[in-house]
Amino acid sequence: MRRNNFSSLVFVVLIAAVVFCFPEFAWSQGKVIELSHSSQFPANHPLGKAQALWAQEIEKRTNGRVKITLYYSATLTSTEACYEGVVRDSSDIGEAVLSITRGRFPLMEATDLPGYSFNGAVTSRVANDFYKKFKPKELDETHVLYLNAHLPGGIHTRTKQIRTLEEMKGVRIRCTGLAAKIVQALGATPVAMPKLEQYDAMQRGLVDGTFAGISDLPAYKLAEVSKYCTLYPPVGYVSAFLTAMNKDKWNALPPDIQKVFTEVSDTWSEYSGKVWNEAETEGIQLGKKVGQNRFISLSSQEGARWDKAIQPLFDDYKKNMKAKGLPGEEALQYRQQLIEKYSKMYLPLKVD
């Protein structure tokens, strides 16, 4: 009897050791794989909802073997620390804003440069295809699932209409990442501040405006604190969002589960782009509803001046990439090819 009990104990200990050292063994035996997902978006934001659908689709296709819990509004890891949180396993999955940590993802900075048409499917597919082409080592610490990007942002102001470069001078604009360089190139004063703080800053007059997507009018209640939006897509900032998984967690997944993640993610860049368009359309409708003449367009002559003002950003990118031994010239050329390709497939959204 004692020998049988001892043998049973040894067996249990061995199984526990295998499960501890090789979690993929336990997962392959039917145990539910529970994963955390850090998101900067609120749960009611269209992209927050899109992330929930992504998680649900994976759960569905794996017959419930995977359960992903989303932590919205940067409650699990801050927006600034999201990517590092995935690397260090503070979250299993994270949706990081590449532009937040300037210099951390040098080659990928090309995806945030201005020059896009006004369509989220264009920005998202360009960002995703750009990564697949170059697969820069700067992202090797995680397993990249998919990328998307919002439409070119506009300059939302509390009370001042901006129609010329001269009217930008001295205006305090909330922005982050590359958007700060665009604001500075246009003659305004960039104020570094996370998106989640823009409402209070605008309401209290700490800034004169914010560089943000039109989708922020409803999603972040920006319509309550801004009166005008100067929208000129060719110089509008674009932020690429990266959804990635901790590399050890990815490697521990059974191959069939990895396949499901890959198949769903391969469709989610375009899907996210369409969701960005829907969110932007909602913002346009709200903007027109709450304020007449809210959206300000530039004349072609004035637009050319703004184009010229931001040209140094492209020159700086190529110079910086060359200093790092990275293919900056090739990166910009390929990005432009992608923009032209997808701009033909997806027409710009209409604001007027």
Give the pLDDT of residue 10. 41
Architecture of the domain whose range is 154-236+280-345: 3-Layer(aba) Sandwich (3.40)
Rounded to 5 degrees, φ, ψ at 316 are -65, -40
pLDDT cut 70: percent of the chain above it: 91
Mean pLDDT check: name the lowest of 9-18, 88-97, 165-174, 249-258: 9-18
Rounded Cα distance between 68 and 33, Å, is: 8
For residues 120 and 269, is the Cβ–Cβ distance under 8 A? Answer: no
Dist. CA 217–CA 202, nearest whole Å = 13
Q: How far apart are CA 142 and CA 40, in angstroms?
A: 18
- ∠ Cα 240 281 272 (to 5°): 35
Say what the pLDDT of residue 292 is. 65
Q: 0.85 cut: is pTM over it?
A: yes
DSSP string for residues in 157-179? ESS----SSGGGTT-EEEE-THH
Nearest partner of 145 among 246, 291, 35, 6, judged by Cα: 246
Residue 256: CB partners within 8 Å, gap ≥ 6?
Answer: none
The per-residue pLDDT for 20 is: 44
Dist CA 173 CA 182 (whole Å): 11
In the structure encoding, which two tokens stand for residue 130, read together?
A: 């750009």
pLDDT of residue 177: 83
Q: Which residue has the higher pLDDT, 17 or 70?
A: 70
Same fold? 32-150+239-278, 154-236+280-345: yes
> At what angle are helices 300-323 and 328-345 packed, to 10 degrees?
140
pLDDT, residue 9, reads: 45
Coil, strand or helix at 71: strand
CA 273-276-280 angle, to 5 degrees, is 140
157/212 Cα distance (integer angstroms): 10
CA distance 111 to 131: 9
Mean pLDDT of the chain: 91
Examine the pLDDT at 336 and tell me if it is beyond 60: yes
What is the spatial distance between Cα 112 and Cα 152, in angstroms, rounded to a whole number? 10
Q: Is the pLDDT of residue 22 over 90?
A: no
Better-predicted residue by pLDDT, 124 or 7: 124
Q: What is the pLDDT of residues 267-315, one digit of tens each?
A: 999 999 999 999 999 999 999 998 767 899 999 999 999 999 999 999 9
In contact, 210 and 144? CB cutoff 8 Å: no
| 125 CB burial (10 A radius; 0-12, 13-18, 19+) | buried
Q: Where are the domains of the chain?
A: 32-150+239-278, 154-236+280-345
- pLDDT level of residue 101 (50, 70, 90 thresholds): confident
The Cα 239–Cα 179 span in angstroms is: 9
Topology classification of domain 32-150+239-278: D-Maltodextrin-Binding Protein; domain 2 (3.40.190)
Over pLDDT 90: what percentage of the chain?
A: 84
CA proximity to 140, closest of 40, 246, 35: 246
Of 26-30, 92-96, 126-130, which gets the smallest average pLDDT?
26-30
Distance of CA 243 to the CA centre of its chain: 8
Query: Which of 287-291, 306-310, 321-325, 326-330 is predicted least confidently?
Result: 287-291
